[in-house]
Amino acid sequence: MFTPATDPSGALVEQVDLAPLRQGPLDGLKFTVKDNIDLAGYKTSYGSPAWRDAHPAPIHNALCVDQLLGAGARCVGKVVADEFTYSLDGESFYFGTPRNAKAPDRVPGGSSSGSAASVANGLADFSLCTDAGGSIRVPASLCGLWGMRPSLHRISEAGVLPFQPSVSTVGVLADRFDVLNAAMRVLLNSPTLPVSSPRRILLLHDALEIADCAVRDQAGVALQRIAANIGTTIETIRFSEIVGEPCELNDCNLNGLRDLQTAEFQSTVGNWIEASKPQLGFTFSMAYEHVQKFERIAALDNMARCERLFRQINAFVAADTVICFPTTPKIAPFKGSLNTLKAVMDFYDPTMTITAFAGVARLPEVAAPLLTVEGCPVGLSFVAGHYQDEFLLNAVREMVG
């Protein structure tokens, strides 16, 4: 355990204090940085003590960190990431389980577990973090925070450790929408871009079907309120209508993104692990067994399927359209409960069926902390077209703000 004893949130790897580089729209805001993003002079651990010890400290901040410092924000901490960011549960063998402030006996979700905990426990206004398979959206949902995964490659990844280059994104977790919006607009490099209002709101039926009953009901209530807010109706749509041919939502993950992600992870972290034979934490080493055995040739056809799904979904999602669904199908699992294969599958499979939709379509997704089930938070997600990140932020403000 490396968590400083003085941090009851369990989020901090290291307290830091980087002053703003100049004034700007983020004046007065404090942020933390996930431990796979470079801070000059501090070792980046990637959630792995072995990685940390094998690599020198960077002399430059990641460019996205400098963007935030250059817009007036102050960096106050380096925070816990799941080991190699290859997890959605937020229980680190080495760095512990950051505290889920709204459901303390449950996991915070991962891999941006420390990012979520640092914000939800009041250490920072927002956190700079990363999302490939759901690493921002899942902790946003399970901890009751705002989170955004932008369109693929909208934000510079210079100084962010390579993970899954065709899927990885840099984004933000925040406690308030206006903070999320301000930080994302800085990172998106489009402070003055004009935006329009949403005209068409679609509810993705397939995601509702996967969700727990109570989540589904709560989502229905929240969407009724949103529809009333903006004076429109909400249409229900099936994934096969979006794609324009018979298919299932879980094709995005099972027959597409999952294999691409595994193959890409082999090429980034996998090569290093095979050459260095580092100590691996228990949970990660279980997951890595699958990575090791994976036959890359299986990924080639799935890459073409991902490209096809990307094109089909993008041909459907017009510039005035927002698609919504529960961010995760369930509330957070109890801490320590993901200790059987069945429990792991029950958590990951339906979760990734939903998160892979924006992933395969390379679309921006905002997770909003709008639902409560059994006293625990669940997110409601909004997705817009490719590179329509600014439109999405504006649409969410109009619908929910």
Residues that bind a copy of itself (CB under 8 A): 21-22, 38, 56-63, 66-67, 70, 152-153, 156-160, 162, 164-166, 188-191, 193, 260, 263-264, 266-268, 270-271, 274-276, 296-297, 299-300, 303-304, 306-308, 311
Which segments of 79-212 does DSSP mark as H helices, in order?
Answer: 113-120, 137-143, 177-187, 205-210
Minimum CB distance to a copy of itself, residue 63 (Å): 6
Element of type H or E holding 355: helix 341-361
Minimum CB distance to a copy of itself, residue 32 (Å): 19
- Identify which of residues 193 and 221 has a Cβ nearer to a copy of itself in the complex: 193
Cα–Cα nearest to 153, from 270, 21, 64: 64
Minimum CB distance to a copy of itself, residue 378 (Å): 32
Minimum CB distance to a copy of itself, residue 17 (Å): 19
Please, what is the end-to-end C-alpha distance for the chain in angstroms?
39
- Identify which of residues 44 and 121 has a Cβ nearer to a copy of itself in the complex: 44
- Identify which of residues 314 and 337 has a Cβ nearer to a copy of itself in the complex: 314
- Identify which of residues 22 and 342 has a Cβ nearer to a copy of itself in the complex: 22
Q: What is the distance between the alpha carbons of residues 359 and 152, in angstroms, rounded to a whole number? A: 8
Give the list of residues 6+ apart from residue 12 with CB closer than 8 angstroms, or none: 3, 4, 32, 77, 78, 79, 80, 114, 118, 123
Minimum CB distance to a copy of itself, residue 156 (Å): 5
Minimum CB distance to a copy of itself, residue 276 (Å): 8
Ramachandran quadrant class, 289 (left: phi over 0; alpha: psi -120 to 50; beta: rest): alpha
Minimum CB distance to a copy of itself, residue 95 (Å): 23
- Identify which of residues 217 and 307 has a Cβ nearer to a copy of itself in the complex: 307
Type of residue found at 50: A
Cα dist from 55 to 16, 43, 45, 129, whole Å: 20, 7, 8, 20
- Identify which of residues 62 and 138 has a Cβ nearer to a copy of itself in the complex: 62
Q: What is the distance between the alpha carbons of residues 29 and 360, in angstroms, rounded to a whole number? A: 33
Neighbours of 277 (CB within 10 A): 9
Contact 11, 70 (CB under 8 A): no
Minimum CB distance to a copy of itself, residue 345 (Å): 26
CA atoms within 13 A on the CB side of 194: 1
Contact 233, 227 (CB under 8 A): yes
Minimum CB distance to a copy of itself, residue 124 (Å): 21
- Identify which of residues 261 and 283 has a Cβ nearer to a copy of itself in the complex: 261
- 381 CB-contact burial (10 Å; exposed 0-12 / middle 13-18 / buried 19+): buried
- Identify which of residues 205 and 386 has a Cβ nearer to a copy of itself in the complex: 386
What six digits make up the tokens of 39? 């801070």
- Identify which of residues 176 and 308 has a Cβ nearer to a copy of itself in the complex: 308
